[in-house]
Amino acid sequence: MSDKYQGFVQSPIGKLFVKNLGLPNPVELERYVEGAPLVDGTVVVGGDGRLADGLAAVLDGLGIASTDTTEEGASYKGLVFDATGITSSSDLVRLQEFFGPLMRRLDTCARLVVLGTEPSATDSPAERVAQRALEGFTRSLGKEAGRGAAVQLVYVTPGAEAAVESTLAFLLSPKSAYVSGQVIRIGATGTTDAVSVQDWERPLAGKIALVTGASRGIGEQIARVLHRDGATVIGVDVPQAASELQGLMKELNGDFLTLDITGKDAPQRIAHHVKEKHGGVDVVVHNAGITRDKKLANMAEDRWSSVIAVNLTAPERITRELLDQGAINDNGRIVGVASIAGIAGNLGQTNYAASKAGVIGLVDALAGELTDGITVNAVAPGFIETKMTAAVPFATREVGRRLNAMSQGGQPVDVAETIAWYANPGSTAVNGNVVRVCGQMMLGA
Ligand code: NAD
C-alpha cells in the first residue's frame, strides 16, 4: 500500500513542514535493479586487522570499486572498516578517526560495514571488551547516519576470513535497503569454510527452492527474487489461494503444491513431492504465517492454537521431515520468517510473538546440529507494506511506519533480498543468524 506521507514530504510545501516542525523525513530508498552493478559508486576501505589485506580483492571480484585513500571533494557510496585489529578500548578511537570525517561525504543510501571478531573468539579480556563495544557504535551510527544510510556489524570468526564475500555483496548493495543496525555472525556456528560462487547474477542456477505462503505478499516476492537468482521455485499455499499460486508459478516457470501446512500429512507430502519430482530441495523458506490478534484476557483457544500451528509447529515438523528423509541437498538452506514482535513483544500478539520467538528458537536449536554445509537462519521483518499491515488501524500503522531510523515501512522485496543472501551458495558460513529487516526499528534491540 502507498505511503502518502512519504509522497507529501517530497513536495515543496512538505519540505517546508519537515524543516520547520522537525517532522520525520523519509528518503526514497534505493533498491537493487536486476542487471545493475552491486554498488553505484566507490567504497572506502579502512582498518588494519586480519581481513584488511584481502578486502580490495574481494570487492574487486564483486565488481565493486574501492579505495583506501580519500580524495578532496569526493563522496562515497560505502565504507568498510576492518576493526579486527582493535584489541583494547583505547584502540576504539580508530572508529572515530575513520568514520567521523567521512560521515558528511556519503552519497544517499550509503552502506557502512564494520568487520569485527566474535567477542567469545577473542584472545584476551581487553580484546573481548573492545570487540563487544563495536555493537553500540554501529547501532548508534545507524540511528544518526540518515539519508537512507545503513550501518551493520559483521563478526567474522577467525578462520572464516575467506567467507565474507556473499555478505559484503548483500550489505554494500541496495539489496539490503531496509536492513540496518544489525549484528551478523560469520563462521560462529557450523563451518568457517567458503564456497565460491560461479555466477553472481544467477547464484541459484540449478537450485530448487521451496517457499511456503508463496501466492501473495512477502512470499510472492521471495519467489520472484529466488527465481531472478536462478532457482526453480516450488510455491506452497492453501487450496483457497490455488489460482493466484498457479498463475505466479506459471509466470516463474516454477512448480506448486496446494496444501495446508498444518495438515497432519503435510510434511510427508512436501518431502515426497520434492524428492520424487526434483530429487531434493536446496532452499526451504518457511514464510507462511497468520495473525489472530487479541489481548490474552480475550483470546479464545482457537486463536492461540491456529497461530502456533501455522507459524511454528508446521515449520518445525516440515524441517524435521525433510532432514530425516535426507531431502535437503548438501549446502542447503533453511530460512525461517520470524518478526520483530518475536523479539520485542507486541500488545495483542502474545500468540503471534510466542510463535515468532519460537522460530528464532528453531534456528538456535538446529544451527549446531546441521552438517554437509546446510544452514539455518531467520529474518525478522519489522513493518512491511503488505495486505497484512494494510489491515492495521491507521494510528498504529503510522507509528509502525515512522518509528524506525528510515522513517518508513519496508517493502516485501527487502525481506526477499535478505533471504536470497542466506540462500546464496556462498553463504555456507552464515549460520544461526536472525537478521531484522526493520529499518532499525526503535522497538526491541
Ligand atoms: P500474507 O497474509 O500476505 O501472506 C501469507 C501467506 O501464507 C498467504 O498466501 C496465505 O495463504 C499463506 N498461508 C497462511 N496459512 C497457511 C497454511 N496453513 N498453509 C499454507 N499457506 C498458508 O502475509 P505477509 O505479510 O506476506 O507475511 C509473510 C510472513 O512474514 C508471515 O510469516 C508473517 O508473519 C511475516 N511477517 C510479516 C510482517 C509484515 O509487516 N507484513 C512483519 C513481520 C513478519
Name the CATH superfamily housing domain 208-437. NAD(P)-binding Rossmann-like Domain (3.40.50.720)
pLDDT digits (tens, 9 = 90+) for 241-289: 999 999 999 999 999 999 999 999 999 999 999 999 999 999 999 999 9
Task: Write out the CATH class of domain 31-186.
Answer: alpha beta
What's the gap between Cα 320 and its chain centre?
23
Q: Determine the Cα–Cα distance for residues 251 and 233; give it in Å rounded to an integer.
A: 11
Per-residue pLDDT of 223-243, as tens digits, reads 999 999 999 999 999 999 999
Residue 21's pLDDT is 62
Are 257 and 271 within 8 A, CB to CB?
no
The C-alpha cell that represents 173 in the structure block: 548493495
Task: Determine the length of the chain.
Answer: 445
What is the C-alpha separation between 316 and 320, in angstroms, rounded? 6
Q: 178: Cβ below 6 Å to ligand 1? A: no
pLDDT at position 413 over 80: yes
Kindly report, residue by residue over 59-107, the tens digit of the pLDDT.
999 999 999 999 999 999 999 999 999 999 999 999 999 999 999 999 9
Domain definitions of the chain by residue range: 31-186, 208-437
Task: Please tell me the distance between residue 287's alpha carbon and the centre of ligand 1 in angstroms.
Answer: 6
Give the residue ranges of DSSP H helices in 340-393. Answer: 341-344, 350-367, 387-390
Per DSSP, which regions of 338-422 are E strands?
A: 375-381
Q: Is 218 in the pocket of ligand 1 (CB under 6 A)?
A: yes
Q: Give the pLDDT score at 25.
A: 77
CA distances from 297 to 192, 304, 319, 354 (A): 47, 12, 33, 16
| pLDDT at residue 187 in the model | 96
First to last CA, the chain: 27
In the reported structure, the alpha carbon of residue 302 is separated from the centroid of ligand 1 by a whole-number distance in angstroms of: 18
- Enumerate the active-site residues: 352
Ligand 1 lined by 389 (C-beta under 6 Å)? yes
Pair 62, 38: CB distance under 8 Å: yes
- CA dist 146 and 431 (Å) reads 30
pLDDT value of residue 152: 98
Using an 8 Å Cβ cutoff, are 208 and 231 in contact?
yes
- pLDDT digits 0-9 by tens, 165-216: 999 999 999 999 999 999 999 999 999 988 889 899 999 999 999 999 999 9
State in Å: Cα 252 to ligand 1 middle: 20
Cell of 19: 524543516
Burial 365-389 (b: 16+ CB within 10 A, else e): ebbeebeebbbbbbbbbbbbbbeeb
Atom 41, ligand 1: which residue's CA is nearest? Answer: 384
Q: Which atom of ligand 1 lies nearest, measured to the CA of 219?
A: 26
Name which of 82, 155, 85, 87 is nearest 125 in CA terms: 87
Ligand 1 atom having least distance to the Cα of 245: 9
Summary mean pLDDT of the chain: 94
Tell me how far the alpha carbon of residue 330 lies from the centroid of ligand 1, in angstroms: 28
Maximum C-alpha span of the chain: 65
Q: pLDDT tens for residues 18-50?
A: 666 666 778 999 999 999 999 999 999 999 999
| Percent of the chain clearing pLDDT 90 (strictly above) | 87
Same topology between domain 31-186 and domain 208-437: yes
Residue 345: pLDDT band with limits 50, 70, 90: very high
Q: Give φ, ψ of 387 to 5 degrees.
A: -60, -35
Grid coordinates given for 361: 528458537
